[in-house]
Amino acid sequence: MASVSGNPIESGPSCSARADVYPADGSLKSVRVLGTSVACATYDSALADIKALAREPRAAAVCPSNTHILGEARHTPEFARVLARFDMVLPDGMPVVWALNYHGADLKDRVYGPYFMRHALRHTPRPWRHFFFGDSEECLVELRRALVQLQPDVDIVGMLSPPFRPFTEADEASFADIINRADPDFVWVALPGVRMERWIIDNQARFRRGVFLAVGDAFALLSGRRSFAPSWMQRLGLTWAYRLSKEPLRLGPRYLRYHFIFVSYWLWDALRGRT
């Protein structure tokens, strides 16, 4: 995986990782978590990296990654290949941060997708250009209102609510035409589950430039349509529990499956000395 945060650290004994996480030049590297290279990033360093990617004459891809995403990548080789094509994978969940800190990353916080989007919008006024792809028309209207309050000098060059069905080739061509004509620096993508990461990579060649960021439920949260978990729950890695309390029937089976997958693979790797 190409990463502006540095080359990934190969799997190996955890005791040797600290020297690689903090190289002599002061840059931060990436660490393999369940086989996926995750950047040892903060909100500020990730923002600096996506600004650098936005200046490149190509489409780039960034994915804040939690236990669900990493567990799916370890469990499904096809999705692992999708994730490996992202320019940068960020530590979205606290269990991912703990896994990085096991290698000596010494991170104090995760880079949570919705908070990262909010942080980026605050620090990218004009001439930076933003496009928003996903969720409903109603959500996008409320999101625009919230973002203008957050950053009065924000330049929103487009918002697109795609149809709530499988996309056709005609759909994909139309999306690419709309986004390319808008010429954004950042394209914030909110689609369900791992469909979002697949959509970004499957269509990357259609776009001339811009950083495509998979931010999941950020639109619903930042627009105010859904509430954030309390700060203390976030610090303890319990955002999932808060969300589960709100939507137990929909999220219960998914959380049970992917938390089990993540913990099982992590323990297996630890026992084999490959964490």
Measured distance CA(229)–CA(133) in Å, rounded: 24
DSSP code of residue 228: P
DSSP code of residue 86: S
pLDDT of residue 6: 40
pLDDT of residue 222: 96
Nearest C-alpha neighbor of 196 from the set 63, 103, 97, 18: 63
Mean pLDDT of the chain: 85
pLDDT digits (tens, 9 = 90+) for 41-51: 999 999 999 99
Give kind and range of the element (H or E) at residue 185: none
- pLDDT score of 274 more than 70: no
pLDDT of residue 233: 73
pLDDT digits (tens, 9 = 90+) for 26-80: 445 899 999 999 999 999 999 999 999 999 999 999 999 999 899 999 999 999 9
pLDDT digits (tens, 9 = 90+) for 119-138: 999 999 999 999 999 999 99
pLDDT digits (tens, 9 = 90+) for 193-213: 789 999 999 999 999 999 999
Q: How many CA atoms lie within 13 A of 139 on its CB side?
A: 18
Least confident piece of the model among 102-106, 205-209, 218-222, 233-237: 233-237
Measured distance CA(31)–CA(155) in Å, rounded: 35
What is the model's pTM? 0.83
Least confident piece of the model among 9-18, 104-113, 128-137, 216-225: 9-18
Which tokens in the block code for residue 12?
């190996």
Which tokens in the block code for residue 149?
């309050």
- Sheet holding 210-214: strands in order across? 88-91, 59-65, 210-214, 186-190, 130-134, 156-160
pLDDT of residue 254: 66
State yes or no: cis peptide before 127, omega within 30 of 0.
yes
Measured distance CA(117)–CA(52) in Å, rounded: 16
pLDDT band at 269 (very low <50, low <70, confident <90, very high): confident
Measured distance CA(207)–CA(175) in Å, rounded: 10
Top-ranked range on mean pLDDT: pick from 21-25, 140-144, 245-249: 140-144
Q: State the alpha helices, DSSP H only, in the chain.
A: 18-21, 43-54, 67-75, 77-84, 94-102, 113-122, 137-150, 169-182, 195-202, 218-222, 231-235, 239-246, 248-271
pLDDT band at 244 (very low <50, low <70, confident <90, very high): low
pLDDT of residue 192: 87
DSSP code of residue 55: T
- Measured in degrees and rounded to the nearest 5, phi and psi for residue 225 equal -75, -25
Which tokens in the block code for residue 82?
């999708």
DSSP code of residue 237: T
